[in-house]
């Protein structure tokens, strides 16, 4: 019997077991172009042809089955000790783009877009690898290399559907020069594993690596369902789609070809999360993108203060520090320093979900016979009450994501569950902030 090819092992141990993050790293890494993402608006999973060269890069760089943070942190940060919730932090800030249009265009403060424009404008980066509206299908995003001001601005805002960003690395086979990179935690986990494996494109350097905070990602069907609730029958009828449009924290907004705009608050859009979450996201232990040079997320400490959005920014490396400091000095962004404790408090509920809940789910779901990823992180202590809460929460995810749960959701009015999810979020934030 012949030995299995690496790509066959990848499909059997990661894809078929439900551990695929949909980061697209295997696609971008494969030198034979043997792997592709199938059905991006459906299951969005990698499939393989028959041209595998047995290089093993797809297996080595995949973050789905395991991520060993310690050696990757050692290579990036030396002996700096990571904060249990935030990772390695050299400095923490609340910030926003100085340009009002860029600030409003972003998911929160527009900081990432502003820094990318500054890098490209100075000629220090030829472009950026990022997730942006598909060039031919504006109702969805796709990984690409943005090199112009227009392309970078168009890529602003989060897109809450499965996003195989690292498929764009395939486009860099013939590229030269420095490129920035903006990704979610799982995407950067894959990229860092790829770099650790020694895959270096001749003449190409990906730097800085900018990380976006991420709680979870959703199947595209969540977008379809919400569009139908707003009266848009098909995504193809959408000329422009935004998930964080308008005043912060923004609205899920669709503009149809005839110019009609339909929207719902982003906080109401959150009701689809338990119904359409990628199950692998339930086991992710990295909220703040701990392997990036610099991380950015919603600056919730400013929520309710009025005005436009703010971003929380965590500086992790010298590269990230230089990028951020220069942007501040040149007036591209405005920032105010905060303590590490303040950065922890403003996302306390999300840290409870990721840094306590994920570890509890790893044990719980493994006991239910599900495949779960492996991390070199120690399990935190949890009270009996927190373990019981996690059991209820996990059952809720399991029921909501069943065909019955999704069928019920489709029958409900657009804002039917929005009030409940808003109240749950506020109560969760208050209870965890007191700890």
For the entire predicted model, the pTM comes to: 0.95
Averaged pLDDT, 264-278: 93
HSE (side-chain half, CA atoms, 13 Å) at 435: 16
Q: Which of residues 57 and 171 earns the better pLDDT score? A: 57
Which fold, 6-61?
A: Alpha-Beta Plaits (3.30.70)
Query: pLDDT value at position 202?
Result: 59
Per domain, the residue ranges of the chain are 6-61, 67-435
Q: What is the mean pLDDT of residues 305-313?
A: 88
Mean pLDDT across the chain = 93
Q: Scanning the structure block, which residue is given the tokens 């979870």?
A: 216
- The answer to whether the bond into 240 is cis (omega within 30° of 0) is no
Helix (H, G, I), strand (E, B) or coil at 344: helix
Average pLDDT over residues 382-409: 94
Are the beta carbons of 343 and 314 closer than 8 angstroms?
Answer: yes
What pLDDT score was predicted for residue 112? 98
R_g of the chain, CA atoms, integer Å: 21
**pLDDT mean over 395-401:** 95
DSSP secondary structure, 63-113, as one string: -SSEE-HHHHHHHHHTTPPPBTTTBS-SEEEEEEESSHHHHHHSSSS-HHH
Q: What pLDDT band is residue 415 in, cutting at 50, 70 and 90?
A: confident
Decide: 364 and 55 in contact? Cβ < 8 Å. Answer: no
Confidence check: pLDDT of 258 > 50: yes
Q: Look at residues 349, 382, 352, 216 and name the one whose alpha carbon lies nearest to residue 283.
A: 216
DSSP string, 207-275: EEEEEE--S--B-THHHHHHHHHTT---GGGEEEEEEEESSTT-EEEEEETTS-EEEEEHHHHGGGHHH
**What is the percent of the chain where pLDDT is above 90?**
84
Tell me the C-alpha distance between 405 and 342, whole Å: 37
Residue among 42, 38, 14 at smallest CA distance from 27: 38
Determine the Cα–Cα distance for residues 171 and 145; give it in Å rounded to an integer.
8
Contact present, 278 and 217 (Cβ < 8 Å): yes
Confidence of residue 304 (pLDDT cuts 50, 70, 90): confident
| Cα–Cα dist 117/115, whole Å | 5
Mean pLDDT across 295-309: 87
Q: Name the band, by pLDDT with cuts 50, 70 and 90, for residue 1.
A: very low
The pLDDT tens digits for 35-89 are 999 999 999 999 999 999 999 999 999 999 999 999 999 999 999 999 999 999 9
The pLDDT tens digits for 352-381 are: 999 999 999 999 999 999 999 999 999 999
Q: How far is CA 153 from CA 86, 148, 239, in A?
A: 28, 9, 17
Q: List, in order, residues 6 or more apart from 201 with CB less than 8 Å away.
A: 172, 173, 175
**pLDDT for 174:** 74
pLDDT at 201 over 80: no
How far the first Cα of the chain sits from its last, in Å, is 57
The pLDDT of residue 385 is above 70: yes
Give the pLDDT score at 175.
Answer: 77
DSSP-derived letter for residue 277 is B
Asked if the bond preceding 247 is cis, omega within 30° of 0, the reply is no
Percent of the chain residues topping a pLDDT of 70: 98
pLDDT band at 125 (very low <50, low <70, confident <90, very high): very high
Q: Which residue has the higher pLDDT, 169 or 306?
A: 169
Asked if pLDDT for residue 2 goes beyond 80, the answer is no
Over residues 290-307, the mean pLDDT reads: 90
Distance in angstroms (rounded) separating the CA atoms of residues 89 and 339? 10
Region 147-163 average pLDDT:
94
CA distance 43 to 98: 39
């Amino acid at each position: 019997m012949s030995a299995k090819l690496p790509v066959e092992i990848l499909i059997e141990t990661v894809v078929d077991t439900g551990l695929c993050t949909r980061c697209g790293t295997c696609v971008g890494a494969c030198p034979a172009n043997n792997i592709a993402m199938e059905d991006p608006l459906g299951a969005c999973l990698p499939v393989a042809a028959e041209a595998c060269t047995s290089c093993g890069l797809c297996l080595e760089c995949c973050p789905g089955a395991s991520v060993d943070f310690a050696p990757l942190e050692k290579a990036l940060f030396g002996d700096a000790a990571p904060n249990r919730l935030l990772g390695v932090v050299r400095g923490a800030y609340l910030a926003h783009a100085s340009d009002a249009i860029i600030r409003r265009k972003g998911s929160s403060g527009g900081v990432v877009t502003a820094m990318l424009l500054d890098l490209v404008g100075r000629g220090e980066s030829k472009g950026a690898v990022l997730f942006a509206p598909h060039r031919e299908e504006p109702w969805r995003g796709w990984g690409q290399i943005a090199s112009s001001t227009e392309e970078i601005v168009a890529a602003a805002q989060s897109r809450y559907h499965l996003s195989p960003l690292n498929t764009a690395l395939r486009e860099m086979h013939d590229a030269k020069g420095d490129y920035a990179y903006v990704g979610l935690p799982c995407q950067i986990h894959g990229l860092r594993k790829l770099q650790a494996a020694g895959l270096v494109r001749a003449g190409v350097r990906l730097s800085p690596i900018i990380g976006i905070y991420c709680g979870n990602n959703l199947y595209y069907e969540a977008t379809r369902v919400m569009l139908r609730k707003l009266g848009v029958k098909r995504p193809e009828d959408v000329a422009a789609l935004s998930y964080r449009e308008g005043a912060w924290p923004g609205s899920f907004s669709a503009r149809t070809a005839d110019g009609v705009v339909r929207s719902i608050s982003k906080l109401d859009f959150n009701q689809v999360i338990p119904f359409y979450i990628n199950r692998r996201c339930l086991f992710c232990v990295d909220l703040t993108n701990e392997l990036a040079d610099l991380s950015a997320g919603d600056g919730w400490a400013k929520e309710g203060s009025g005005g436009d959005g703010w971003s929380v920014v965590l500086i992790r490396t010298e590269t990230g520090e230089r990028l951020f400091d220069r942007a501040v000095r040149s007036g591209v962004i405005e920032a105010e320093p905060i303590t590490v404790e303040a950065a922890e408090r403003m996302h306390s509920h999300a840290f409870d979900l990721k840094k306590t809940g994920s570890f509890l789910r790893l044990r719980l779901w493994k006991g239910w016979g599900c495949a779960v990823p492996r991390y070199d992180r120690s399990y935190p202590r949890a009270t009996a009450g927190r373990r019981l809460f996690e059991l209820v929460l996990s059952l809720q995810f399991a029921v909501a994501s069943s065909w019955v749960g999704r069928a019920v959701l489709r029958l409900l009015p657009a804002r039917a569950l929005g009030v409940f999810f808003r109240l749950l979020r506020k109560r969760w934030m208050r209870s965890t902030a007191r700890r």
